[in-house]
Amino acid sequence: MSSPVVPTPSIPKGGLFTVQAEARIACPAQTVFAILLDTANYVCWNSFVPEVTIVQSPVSDGSGLVLAVGARLDFLVNMEPSIPSSFWNKMRIAGLEVTCLDSHRVCWRSHFGSSLLQTAERVQLVEDDGAGGCRYLTWETYQGPLAYLVQYVHGDRLQARFQDCANDLKRYAESGSQQ
């Protein structure tokens, strides 16, 4: 894994390591960003994080909790898509917090134990390409002593799964399935 360390809103000076991916998508940026914000439908397209639960949010739309800054999320993460579902390839990650949400970017942060042990923040950014399509960029930067272990054990796998997520998003958005 040779990605440069990239800062995030909560880790402005960068951390120990970053995993990142991107995709050029032949769909309007607002369509792709709407897919990213529709966490209930990640199961339809996201092979890396097929399940997101909003467990707490400062915003509700009458039908349920809404993704917003300060919302708390739980994820089901699939680390090995080629292996049938098992304890070893699916991990539940609880207590992620949305740290940034604007018209083209959403970020969430997680801690392992405490922020002194490990913090990771993921950024998902959608940029209009000026020609009717967009560029999707995502990265997650890790810091803290336990980040060394995560990098050693999962670094290459995380990098591959981030690219899988970008490719999944591209396929889903371009297929028009979400409409």
Query: Per-residue pLDDT tens for 12-39?
Result: 998 999 999 999 999 999 999 999 999 9
Q: Per the domain annotation, does 99 fall within a domain?
A: yes
Largest CA distance in the chain: 45
pLDDT digits (tens, 9 = 90+) for 130-146: 999 999 999 999 999 99
What share of the chain in percent tops pLDDT 70? Answer: 93
Asked whether residue 10 is assigned to any structural domain, the reply reads: no
Domain annotation covers residue 65: yes
Give the pTM: 0.92
Q: Is residue 1 part of a domain?
A: no
> What are the helix and strand counts (H, E) for the chain?
2, 7
Collapsing DSSP to helix, strand or coil, 163 comes out as helix
Number of domains in the chain: 1
Supply the pLDDT for residue 99: 97
| Domain presence at residue 5 | no
Average pLDDT over residues 118-140: 97
The band of 176, judged by pLDDT with boundaries at 50, 70 and 90, is confident
CB contact at 8 A, 92 and 73? no
List the CATH number of the domain containing 112: 3.30.530.20
Q: Is residue 141 part of a domain?
A: yes
| Residue 7 within any structural domain of the chain | no
pLDDT: is 79 or 27 the higher one? 27
Q: Can you tell me the mean pLDDT for 109-125?
A: 87
Q: How confident is the model at residue 111 (pLDDT cuts 50, 70, 90)?
A: confident
Specify if 4 maps to a domain.
Answer: no
pLDDT in tens, 143-174: 999 999 999 999 999 999 999 999 999 999 99
Range of the domain at 58: 19-175
Residue 89's pLDDT band (boundaries 50, 70, 90)? low
